[in-house]
Amino acid sequence: MSHVVLLGDSIFDNATYVPGEPDVVRQLRTKLPRSWKASLCAVDGSCARDVEGQLGSVPDDASHLIVSAGGNDALPYIDIFHQPAESVGEVVAKFAEISEQFARDYHSMVDAVLGRGVPVALCTIYDGRFDDPAEQRLCSTALTVFNDVITRAAFTSALPLIDLRLVCSDRADYANPIEPSAKGGDKIATIIAQLVTGYSDARRSQVFANVGLQCQT
Protein backbone atom coordinates (compact mmCIF):
# COMPACT_ATOMS: atom_id res chain seq x y z
CA MET A 1 0.00 0.00 0.00
CA SER A 2 1.29 3.47 -0.91
CA HIS A 3 1.11 6.31 1.59
CA VAL A 4 1.50 9.95 0.52
CA VAL A 5 2.56 12.38 3.25
CA LEU A 6 2.26 16.16 2.98
CA LEU A 7 4.93 18.32 4.65
CA GLY A 8 5.35 22.06 4.95
CA ASP A 9 2.93 24.88 5.64
CA SER A 10 -0.66 26.05 5.15
CA ILE A 11 -0.64 25.33 1.44
CA PHE A 12 -1.43 21.80 2.64
CA ASP A 13 -2.63 22.55 6.20
CA ASN A 14 -5.46 24.81 5.01
CA ALA A 15 -8.49 23.49 6.93
CA THR A 16 -8.77 26.72 8.95
CA TYR A 17 -9.22 28.74 5.75
CA VAL A 18 -11.92 26.57 4.13
CA PRO A 19 -14.51 26.09 6.90
CA GLY A 20 -17.22 23.65 5.89
CA GLU A 21 -15.22 22.55 2.85
CA PRO A 22 -12.57 19.84 2.41
CA ASP A 23 -8.93 20.68 2.98
CA VAL A 24 -6.12 19.55 0.70
CA VAL A 25 -5.42 16.19 2.35
CA ARG A 26 -9.11 15.22 2.35
CA GLN A 27 -9.32 16.12 -1.33
CA LEU A 28 -6.17 14.15 -2.06
CA ARG A 29 -7.61 11.01 -0.46
CA THR A 30 -10.52 11.08 -2.92
CA LYS A 31 -8.16 11.25 -5.90
CA LEU A 32 -5.73 8.47 -5.00
CA PRO A 33 -6.30 4.79 -5.82
CA ARG A 34 -8.60 3.13 -3.27
CA SER A 35 -5.80 1.19 -1.56
CA TRP A 36 -3.62 4.29 -1.05
CA LYS A 37 -3.45 6.53 2.03
CA ALA A 38 -2.65 10.22 2.55
CA SER A 39 -1.53 11.91 5.76
CA LEU A 40 -0.99 15.53 6.77
CA CYS A 41 2.19 16.40 8.66
CA ALA A 42 2.38 19.98 7.36
CA VAL A 43 1.70 22.69 9.94
CA ASP A 44 0.25 26.12 9.23
CA GLY A 45 2.86 28.82 9.78
CA SER A 46 5.90 26.61 9.24
CA CYS A 47 9.07 27.80 7.53
CA ALA A 48 11.47 25.61 5.56
CA ARG A 49 13.63 24.99 8.61
CA ASP A 50 10.58 23.63 10.49
CA VAL A 51 9.99 20.77 8.05
CA GLU A 52 12.79 18.68 9.52
CA GLY A 53 10.87 18.62 12.81
CA GLN A 54 7.76 17.43 10.98
CA LEU A 55 9.63 14.33 9.84
CA GLY A 56 9.22 12.92 13.35
CA SER A 57 5.48 12.64 12.66
CA VAL A 58 5.85 10.91 9.30
CA PRO A 59 4.35 7.39 9.41
CA ASP A 60 6.78 4.50 9.03
CA ASP A 61 4.96 3.27 5.92
CA ALA A 62 5.27 6.59 4.03
CA SER A 63 5.97 5.96 0.36
CA HIS A 64 5.99 9.55 -0.98
CA LEU A 65 6.84 12.88 0.67
CA ILE A 66 5.48 16.09 -0.87
CA VAL A 67 6.92 19.37 0.45
CA SER A 68 5.45 22.86 0.11
CA ALA A 69 7.53 25.33 2.10
CA GLY A 70 9.03 28.78 1.68
CA GLY A 71 6.09 31.14 1.71
CA ASN A 72 6.46 31.85 5.41
CA ASP A 73 10.19 32.41 4.90
CA ALA A 74 9.26 35.19 2.46
CA LEU A 75 6.55 36.88 4.57
CA PRO A 76 8.91 38.64 7.04
CA TYR A 77 10.46 40.52 4.14
CA ILE A 78 7.25 42.07 2.81
CA ASP A 79 8.11 45.41 4.45
CA ILE A 80 11.23 45.63 2.30
CA PHE A 81 9.10 47.20 -0.42
CA HIS A 82 8.65 50.29 1.74
CA GLN A 83 12.27 50.70 2.80
CA PRO A 84 14.38 53.45 1.21
CA ALA A 85 17.38 52.57 -0.95
CA GLU A 86 20.15 54.68 -2.46
CA SER A 87 20.63 52.53 -5.56
CA VAL A 88 19.30 49.56 -7.49
CA GLY A 89 22.52 47.78 -6.58
CA GLU A 90 21.70 48.13 -2.90
CA VAL A 91 18.29 46.50 -3.48
CA VAL A 92 19.78 43.66 -5.51
CA ALA A 93 22.42 43.07 -2.83
CA LYS A 94 19.69 42.83 -0.20
CA PHE A 95 17.79 40.27 -2.25
CA ALA A 96 21.02 38.32 -2.74
CA GLU A 97 21.49 38.20 1.03
CA ILE A 98 17.90 36.99 1.50
CA SER A 99 18.36 34.35 -1.19
CA GLU A 100 21.55 33.02 0.38
CA GLN A 101 19.95 32.63 3.80
CA PHE A 102 16.87 30.92 2.38
CA ALA A 103 19.06 28.62 0.29
CA ARG A 104 20.92 27.46 3.39
CA ASP A 105 17.66 26.67 5.19
CA TYR A 106 15.96 25.09 2.19
CA HIS A 107 18.82 22.87 1.08
CA SER A 108 19.30 21.65 4.66
CA MET A 109 15.59 20.81 4.76
CA VAL A 110 15.75 18.93 1.44
CA ASP A 111 18.71 16.88 2.68
CA ALA A 112 16.76 15.92 5.80
CA VAL A 113 13.67 14.91 3.82
CA LEU A 114 15.73 12.88 1.34
CA GLY A 115 17.22 11.09 4.32
CA ARG A 116 13.95 9.19 4.72
CA GLY A 117 14.87 7.24 1.59
CA VAL A 118 11.50 7.53 -0.19
CA PRO A 119 10.48 9.54 -3.28
CA VAL A 120 10.25 13.29 -2.64
CA ALA A 121 8.61 16.09 -4.61
CA LEU A 122 8.95 19.84 -4.03
CA CYS A 123 6.53 22.71 -4.67
CA THR A 124 7.23 26.29 -5.69
CA ILE A 125 5.60 29.21 -3.88
CA TYR A 126 2.55 30.48 -5.73
CA ASP A 127 1.97 34.16 -6.50
CA GLY A 128 -0.99 34.66 -4.17
CA ARG A 129 -3.97 36.92 -4.76
CA PHE A 130 -3.60 40.56 -3.77
CA ASP A 131 -6.30 43.13 -4.46
CA ASP A 132 -3.81 45.89 -5.19
CA PRO A 133 -2.26 45.25 -8.65
CA ALA A 134 0.92 47.07 -7.67
CA GLU A 135 1.33 44.91 -4.56
CA GLN A 136 0.62 41.79 -6.63
CA ARG A 137 3.31 42.76 -9.11
CA LEU A 138 5.89 43.42 -6.41
CA CYS A 139 5.16 40.21 -4.50
CA SER A 140 5.18 38.02 -7.60
CA THR A 141 8.51 39.49 -8.67
CA ALA A 142 10.10 39.22 -5.22
CA LEU A 143 9.02 35.59 -4.87
CA THR A 144 11.15 34.67 -7.89
CA VAL A 145 14.15 35.00 -5.54
CA PHE A 146 12.72 32.21 -3.35
CA ASN A 147 11.43 30.12 -6.24
CA ASP A 148 14.84 30.17 -7.88
CA VAL A 149 16.23 28.48 -4.76
CA ILE A 150 13.45 25.88 -4.81
CA THR A 151 13.80 25.03 -8.50
CA ARG A 152 17.58 24.76 -8.20
CA ALA A 153 17.18 22.41 -5.23
CA ALA A 154 14.75 20.23 -7.19
CA PHE A 155 16.89 20.08 -10.29
CA THR A 156 20.15 19.53 -8.39
CA SER A 157 18.65 16.50 -6.64
CA ALA A 158 16.72 15.28 -9.73
CA LEU A 159 13.37 15.67 -7.95
CA PRO A 160 9.93 16.28 -9.47
CA LEU A 161 8.66 19.81 -9.01
CA ILE A 162 5.07 21.07 -8.75
CA ASP A 163 4.92 24.67 -9.96
CA LEU A 164 2.05 26.05 -7.89
CA ARG A 165 2.28 29.40 -9.68
CA LEU A 166 0.67 27.74 -12.68
CA VAL A 167 -1.54 25.31 -10.77
CA CYS A 168 -3.24 28.08 -8.74
CA SER A 169 -3.57 30.68 -11.47
CA ASP A 170 -7.16 31.92 -10.88
CA ARG A 171 -8.40 34.33 -8.21
CA ALA A 172 -10.92 31.71 -7.09
CA ASP A 173 -8.03 29.42 -6.18
CA TYR A 174 -7.36 31.58 -3.08
CA ALA A 175 -9.36 31.88 0.15
CA ASN A 176 -7.41 35.05 0.99
CA PRO A 177 -4.24 36.65 -0.42
CA ILE A 178 -1.97 33.76 0.61
CA GLU A 179 -4.05 30.65 1.41
CA PRO A 180 -5.63 28.17 -1.02
CA SER A 181 -9.40 27.95 -1.28
CA ALA A 182 -11.24 24.66 -1.65
CA LYS A 183 -11.04 25.13 -5.42
CA GLY A 184 -7.31 25.79 -5.28
CA GLY A 185 -6.86 22.88 -2.90
CA ASP A 186 -8.69 20.61 -5.33
CA LYS A 187 -6.25 21.58 -8.08
CA ILE A 188 -3.28 21.02 -5.77
CA ALA A 189 -4.62 17.61 -4.72
CA THR A 190 -5.26 16.64 -8.33
CA ILE A 191 -1.73 17.38 -9.47
CA ILE A 192 -0.21 15.62 -6.45
CA ALA A 193 -2.26 12.53 -7.30
CA GLN A 194 -1.11 12.71 -10.91
CA LEU A 195 2.49 13.00 -9.78
CA VAL A 196 2.58 10.13 -7.30
CA THR A 197 0.62 7.71 -9.50
CA GLY A 198 2.35 8.52 -12.77
CA TYR A 199 5.89 9.74 -12.10
CA SER A 200 8.75 7.41 -12.96
CA ASP A 201 12.10 8.13 -11.31
CA ALA A 202 14.44 8.22 -14.29
CA ARG A 203 17.18 10.27 -12.58
CA ARG A 204 15.80 13.51 -13.94
CA SER A 205 13.51 16.24 -12.73
CA GLN A 206 10.01 16.56 -14.08
CA VAL A 207 7.88 19.69 -13.74
CA PHE A 208 4.16 19.34 -13.04
CA ALA A 209 2.70 22.70 -14.00
CA ASN A 210 -0.89 22.22 -15.10
CA VAL A 211 -3.57 19.82 -13.96
CA GLY A 212 -3.64 17.06 -16.56
CA LEU A 213 -0.42 18.21 -18.25
CA GLN A 214 3.22 17.35 -17.53
CA CYS A 215 6.34 19.13 -18.75
CA GLN A 216 9.68 17.35 -18.74
CA THR A 217 13.09 18.90 -18.16
pLDDT in tens, 61-95: 999 999 999 999 998 887 776 677 778 887 778 87
pLDDT at residue 78 in the model: 77
* 214 has pLDDT over 70: no
Report d(CA 30, CA 101) in Å as an integer.
38
How far, in Å, CA of 55 to CA of 172, rounded?
32
Q: Which residues of 64-98 are buried (b: 16+ CB within 10 A; e: fewer)?
A: bbbbbbbbbbbeebeeeeeeeeeeeeeeeeeeeeb
For residue range 102-128, list pLDDT tens digits in order.
999 999 999 999 999 999 999 999 999
Write down the pLDDT at residue 215. 37
pTM: 0.92
Q: What is the pLDDT of residues 167-198, one digit of tens each?
A: 999 999 999 999 999 999 999 999 999 999 98
Predicted local distance difference test score (pLDDT) of residue 209: 81
Beta bridge partners of residue 67, listed in sequence order: 7, 122
Pick the CATH number of 3-216 from 3.40.50.2300, 3.40.50.720, 3.40.50.12780, 3.40.50.1110: 3.40.50.1110
Residue spans per domain, the chain: 3-216
What confidence score (pLDDT) does residue 87 get?
A: 83
| H helices present in the chain, as ranges | 24-31, 51-54, 71-74, 88-114, 133-156, 164-167, 182-198
What is the side-by-side order of every strand in the sheet holding 37-40?
A: 37-40, 3-8, 64-68, 120-123, 161-162, 206-210, 213-216
